[in-house]
Structure 1
Amino acid sequence: MLPLEGILVLEFCQYMAGPSAGLKLTDLGARVIKIERPKFGEEGRQINIKNLFIDDSSLLFHALNRNKESYTANLKDEEDLINVKKLIQKANVMTHNFRPGVMETLGLDYKTIKVLNPKIIYATITGYGTIGPWAKKPGQDLLAQSISGVTYLTGDKEDPPTPMGLAVADIFSGTHLTQGILAGLIRSTQTGKGALIEVSLLESMIDLQFEGITTYLNGDKYKPTRARNGNAHAFLSAPYGVYKTNDGFLVIALASIKDLGEALGSKAFTKYKNQKTWFEKKDDIMELINNCLIKENSSYWIEKLEAKGIVCEEVFNLEQLIHHEGYQILNFDQVLTLTNGEKIHTTRCPIRINENKIFSTEGAPRVGEHTDQIAKEFNL
């Protein structure tokens, strides 16, 4: 039995951030019903990732919405809204990621809903919070990354601001929303009271940068400085970074410059005895490391460095990862079956419970696929 079995979640969410929270909840056993527009469904069904669509919805939508049900309702239609409110009265959790003011207009804001269902966990994701100059801006991953300052941490010193290559604002805010929901559910079992859970893309990106922001708030006013080449962390000293070898790349994470110099067989590092220079002269030290590593293959250096206790690893691309024994032994792939019988290969939930991995078999629903079933079950 999964820990959230018996928990009913109504998901009024679109795109990635909110549905990613619903995905985590359904992987843990919750029943997640998507409330979607009639005919078209939620906007995330049309997210164009490399033009990959299956059964009229994007491949990304299928990966994000496995194991969920779909109930269609026009929230501006009085009868549909009455039925949705009946569902809300039965739910444990309700999630949405509409812009501030939308749910108030529909009469589905927290103040209204908690009268209908005092125990409900009402969880929302916005782009930038509910007040302030950015509150009405679109909550979009690239915008949130850009405003947060995180784009000045990725890439090398002379690179322009560089976003991360993943929808990190969406995924982290979805994770934070899940944490808040779980905390609310625990409190609800103890007190019988519901809770309003709020997160935003921007706040999740700020939280992600707690290291740098903490140094700034404690008197270090200098801008984060990316390494000239091979930057991996703008706030850490050499040798932390990415290095070219004769046949690829490797990363070095943790090592003293003295030990590293000995492992590389170079006396050029001896002038950096003072640990402060490892940060102040980061670019010079990293260039010395590069000059050594380029002479041999990655495997040669990894064997040599690991023997000296230096934390390092080869840099894999996606194909190398998926075909490596280290990935395959995790049994991380799973196959979903769609309503039309097609199969989708995707990844499983990363959490294990009592040594058991969590797998799914049900694909994402078609628009309104479960509307009649749900209406009958809940007397709508």
Structure 2
Amino acid sequence: MTLLNGITVLDFSQFLAGPSCALRLADLGARVIKIERPAVGDSSRHLVLKKQKVGSDSLLFHTINRNKESIALNLKDPKDKETTLELIKKADVLIENNRPGVMKKLGLDYDTVKQLNPKLIYGTVTGYGISASLAAKPGQDLLAQSLSGLTFLNGNADQPPTPFALSVADSFAGIHLAEGILSCLIRRNKTNTGGLVEVSLLESAISLQFEVLTSYFNDGQKLPERSNFNNAHAYLAAPYGIYQTKDGYLSIAMGSLNLLGQLIGLPQLSEYEKETLAFTSRDEIKQQIAEKLVSKTTDEWAAILLSGGYWAAPVYNWQELIKQAGFKALNFDIQLTTPEGSVHTTGCPIRVNGSRNPAAKPAPLLDQDHDKIMNELGGSTNE
């Protein structure tokens, strides 16, 4: 895409939240330059999942750093510091997710660099925002999920708090940071001034729960009770949940219990049609539905429910997902070719005017673009 052509982003961040924000800006056409530590680089280059590497770097690094350039600079070295400041003078956006106070010690905090570039939009990600009591805690996804109350929602009532099995706090912090940066870019077009955009893993994880937290705040602050059976939403009545079938699983969303009973052959469900019974007796209702659904396959039940206008869907694993015509039609996964191997990954989820740019560059090698960037600054290249 070319929506952000002409916008230069300096990505000082590591791991997932900051780099995922920079990735989305790159997908939208911005030029993103990673500022990395000499010899080491972004720490996620070395964070290997299931022994998956592409050349010397982890597959994880490639996942969230495509379409970027790389220059290695020692921010404590006077010469490299001067190069960094020159880059900041010319940049539109700076992204960082260092520990609180690190950028200030380096003389690269917002109050300092905005004197060099008043138009700069400065995006920062912390673990827990402005709370002094949490500032020293490690800003990590599982910890943020735990502190936010998010893990309390998952699982059945008799199960312990269960985290989401992916980095939701990191991912949503990256999304929220991108939203703030893009909003500041719009304002800058009108006012010619930049701004400081701040997000945290904790606030993003809390924001993700806006629906249920609002219910809690307005219900006398009584904790919700998860279903004992097939819990999928602490505040929703039966039949909401995932059910085992003869050969797999089927998700069923909210709807009339009377209609559901007619479709699956459980006429007694009409007795629970009142909203209060649908909630207070949800475990009893779900048990009856579960006992019925194991009699047919997922596809058979899906056809029955969907033809009757009831909201339901098969539950796919990834092997099943990628075989679906709907997934193939999205053309969502991409192949990247690097000097050290190929990477099969996901693309940008945003379409504009019905299309998105499928072209993508692989993640850069450490310091890959040093000479080019130095030449653009009019400075010397690597010796």
TM-score higher than 0.5: yes
Q: What are the residue-to-residue correspondences of 1:11-26 with 2, within 5 Å?
A: 11-26=11-26
CA distance in 1, matches of 2:335, 2:249: 33
RMSD: 1.1
CA distance in 2, matches of 1:256, 1:219: 24
CA distance in 1, matches of 2:252, 2:173: 30
Aligned twin of 1:112 = 112
Deviations 1:140-166 (A, max 9, x none): 000000111111111222111100011
Deviations 1:257-296 (A, max 9, x none): 1111111211321321311111111111111110111111
Aligned residue type for 1:176: H
Q: How many angstroms does 1:224 deviate by? A: 2.4
Aligned twin of 1:48 = 48
Aligned twin of 2:279 = 279
Q: How many angstroms does 1:38 deviate by? A: 0.3
In 1, are the aligned partners of 2:129 and 2:135 still within 8 Å (CA)? Answer: yes
Q: What are the residue-to-residue correspondences of 1:1-150 with 2, within 5 Å?
A: 2-150=2-150
In 2, are the aligned partners of 1:348 and 1:360 still within 8 Å (CA)? Answer: no
CA distance in 1, matches of 2:219, 2:8: 47
Aligned twin of 1:343 = 342
CA distance in 1, matches of 2:151, 2:209: 11
In 1, are the aligned partners of 2:54 and 2:342 still within 8 Å (CA)? Answer: no
Aligned length: 379
CA distance in 1, matches of 2:238, 2:221: 21
Deviations 1:297-321 (A, max 9, x none): 1111111111221100110000000
Instruction: Please state whether the residue corresponding to 2:253 is helix, strand or coil.
Output: strand
Aligned residue type for 2:368: E
CA distance in 2, matches of 1:124, 1:41: 19
Pair 1:299 & 2:299 matched:
yes
Aligned twin of 1:234 = 234
Moved more, 264-273 or 250-259: 264-273
**5+ unaligned residues in a row in structure 1: which ranges?**
none
CA distance in 1, matches of 2:346, 2:273: 46
Q: What are the residue-to-residue correspondences of 1:241-252 with 2, within 5 Å?
A: 241-252=241-252
In 2, are the aligned partners of 1:339 and 1:365 still within 8 Å (CA)? Answer: no
Aligned twin of 1:258 = 258
Aligned twin of 2:369 = 370
User: Taking structure 1 as the reference length, what is the TM-score of the superposition?
Assistant: 0.97
In 1, are the aligned partners of 2:250 and 2:312 still within 8 Å (CA)? Answer: yes
CA distance in 2, matches of 1:257, 1:339: 57
Percent identical pairs in the alignment equals 48
Q: How many angstroms does 1:80 deviate by? A: 0.9
In 2, are the aligned partners of 1:170 and 1:201 still within 8 Å (CA)? Answer: yes
In 2, are the aligned partners of 1:339 and 1:363 still within 8 Å (CA)? Answer: no
**5+ unaligned residues in a row in structure 2: which ranges?**
none
User: Taking structure 2 as the reference length, what is the TM-score of the superposition?
Assistant: 0.97
CA distance in 2, matches of 1:221, 1:334: 46
In 2, are the aligned partners of 1:65 and 1:364 still within 8 Å (CA)? Answer: yes
In 2, are the aligned partners of 1:333 and 1:348 still within 8 Å (CA)? Answer: yes
In 1, are the aligned partners of 2:121 and 2:197 still within 8 Å (CA)? Answer: yes
Q: Write out the 4+ residue segments of structure 1 that deviate beyond 4 Å after TM superposition.
A: none
Q: How many angstroms does 1:138 deviate by? A: 1.2
Aligned residue type for 1:347: T
